[in-house]
Amino acid sequence: MLEVLTGSGLAASAGLNAYIPLLLMGLLSRYTDLVELPSGWQWLGNGWVVLILAVLLAVEVVADKVPVVDHVNDVVQTVVRPTAGGLAFGAGAGSETVTVSDPDTFFSTHQWVPVVVGVLIALGVHLLKAAARPVINATTAGVGAPVASTAEDATSVVMSVVALVLPVLVLVFVVGLVIFVPWLFRRRRERRRERAAAREAGFRV
């Protein structure tokens, strides 16, 4: 159960920022004893992989804080974040996968299941993030973009650490998500009504 919570937390974290959970696992595996990656995922601790993830994270952090650019980034990340979520879940859940060394065995032994679960979790969180950002940008004239992005990055870091150190607290995130989703859809409906009312008022004038 704890392994599933760890994988779920890391996948959800990847839905907010694709590179934070992967980079964190790579660093902790390479330089500490806190994380011991399964045999098929030890490449995450490779020095070149860690460096590439760090560079990609730097680009993501900057791009996601600029209005309009953040929307383009979210479109690109629709593929990247779920992929990272699948990798994070597979590695974090401790599945002895053989994705690198033996792809045939990977599919025939159903070891693809945790990866797919991670993809779906990360995709769901990413879609919520992508849906929320236009609402935030519209209501704050773009000023809220860097604030929201910073909050998302911080949440991704905290979620990754919690998933690795105290995975039971991942349930707190799940509860928060359940509260946030209805609010998001309610706010989107309110925005549509406000725009419709503004257009109608404009026609009357």
In this predicted structure, what is the pLDDT of residue 126? Answer: 79
Confidence of residue 102 (pLDDT cuts 50, 70, 90): very low
Give CB contacts under 8 A, 24+ apart, made by 32-38.
Answer: 34/164, 34/165, 35/164, 37/91, 38/91, 38/94, 38/95, 38/96, 38/97
Residue 43 has pLDDT above 70, yes or no: yes
The pTM assigned to this predicted structure is 0.68
Q: Which H helix or E strand runs over 155? A: helix 144-165
Looking at per-residue pLDDT, the higher value among 49 and 129 belongs to 49
Highest mean pLDDT among 4-13, 114-123, 188-197: 4-13
Q: Do the beta carbons of residue 60 and residue 19 sit within 8 Å?
A: yes
Tens digit of each residue's pLDDT (9 = 90 or more) over 136-146: 777 776 677 78
**pLDDT value, residue 106:** 44
How do residues 45-56 score in pLDDT, each as one tens digit?
A: 888 999 999 999
195, two tokens: 């725009």
